[in-house]
Amino acid sequence: MSHTTPLHRFAQLVSTGDSVAPQGPVRLGVDLGTGNIVLAAVDGTDAPIAGASVHSTVVRDGVVVDWLGAVKAVRGLKEVVEARLGVRFDSAAVAVPPGIDAGTSKVFNNVVEASGLEVLEVVDEPVAAATALGVQTGAVIDVGHGTTGVSILRDGVVQASIDEATGGHHMTLVIAGALGMGYEDAELFKRDPANADLVFGVVRPTLEKMATIAARALEGQADLPIHLVGGASSLPGTAQVFSAVIGAPVTASPDPLFPTPLGTAMRRTS
Ligand SMILES: Nc1ncnc2c1ncn2[C@@H]1O[C@H](COP(=O)(O)OP(=O)(O)OP(=O)(O)O)[C@@H](O)[C@H]1O
Ligand SMILES: [Mg+2]
């Protein structure tokens, strides 16, 4: 256990439902994604202490499309995390897609507040991911369920970002079409590690399209280290596809579903 990174520890806490006794003041983070809603709790040392996640249909392309569903999901996850820790939360940091307008950002705020949590901080998703990865300056490519986002960070601040509609959802559609399955079956088939080789072959053109989106966004940024996060980067070989298309090294995050939620809960040093 001593070699477990905080990111991997957090992934384990989400999947096992375990918790860790906190040291010092606790902090909660909320990541409302297109594919997953994840709550992360850290203690006073920013170490992960508990987490919970649920598959989501309440956000689409960075917009909350089911307000009541989102509130119920966040409230339910808050209660799960509280029960796991024996701690009550009355506030949380919330992650928002980069580059959204103030009105859309306010909706994310309102969801968290309607769930019984005062908003402590609104964090750009790539800043959250970079916090969990310990990155201050670099490019963060986030391949989520709905979109591929690319953000350039310098000294912990987003300088530029784009978000385009190709993500894990599109991979699932391609699998459903190619293998003659319904969407839900294709989604489960995609995530089963036993199918990774077959899936990778089928979705490779989709990954190349995501990589092309990233390459365009990264033109003229050759000096920056490039980090890959988001659940749709889970398939082995994904970073190599991105690296080949971009023409520069790309570092895949382990446990790529979790940098954004964990980093949302963590405190910013800059
Ligand atoms: N083992 C896996 N192999 C392939 N894809 C996976 C795996 N695990 C999760 N995914 C995919 O990751 C996607 C969800 O990733 P993530 O939670 O980062 O997205 P999100 O934050 O909810 O979406 P967005 O950022 O687009 O709003 C889904 O498409 C899911 O199918
Ligand atoms: Mg996301």
pLDDT digits (tens, 9 = 90+) for 219-238: 999 789 999 999 999 999 99
pTM for this model (two decimals):
0.96
For the chain, give the mean pLDDT: 95
Ligand 1, atom 19: closest residue by C-alpha: 144
Segment 239-260 shows an average pLDDT of 97
Domain 6-123 top-level CATH class: alpha beta
Fold matches, 6-123 and 133-252: yes
Which is higher by pLDDT, 113 or 63?
A: 113
* Cβ atoms < 10 Å from Cβ of 138: 19
Pocket of ligand 1 (CB under 6 A): 33-36, 59, 142, 144-147, 167-169, 187, 190-191, 230-232, 234-235, 257
Architecture of the 133-252 domain: 2-Layer Sandwich (3.30)
Nearest 5°: the CA angle 60, 35, 28 is: 100
Can you tell me whether residue 102 is helix, strand or coil? helix
Whether residue 20 is predicted with pLDDT greater than 90 in this model: the reply is yes
Tokens 């966004």 locate to 217
The band of 195, judged by pLDDT with boundaries at 50, 70 and 90, is: very high
CB–CB of 227/138 below 8 Å?
Answer: yes
Q: Which atom of ligand 1 is nearest to the CA of 257?
A: 18
**What is the CA(25)–ligand 2 centre distance, in A?**
26
Our CA angle for 97, 163, 107, nearest 5°, is 30
Q: Where are the domains of the chain?
A: 6-123, 133-252
Residue 121 pLDDT > 90: yes
Q: What is the DSSP-derived secondary structure letter of residue 147?
A: -
- Of the pLDDT bands very low, low, confident and very high (cuts 50, 70, 90), residue 184 is very high
25 CA distance to ligand 1 centroid (A)? 31
- CA 103 vs CA 43, 69, 117: distances in Å: 31, 19, 19
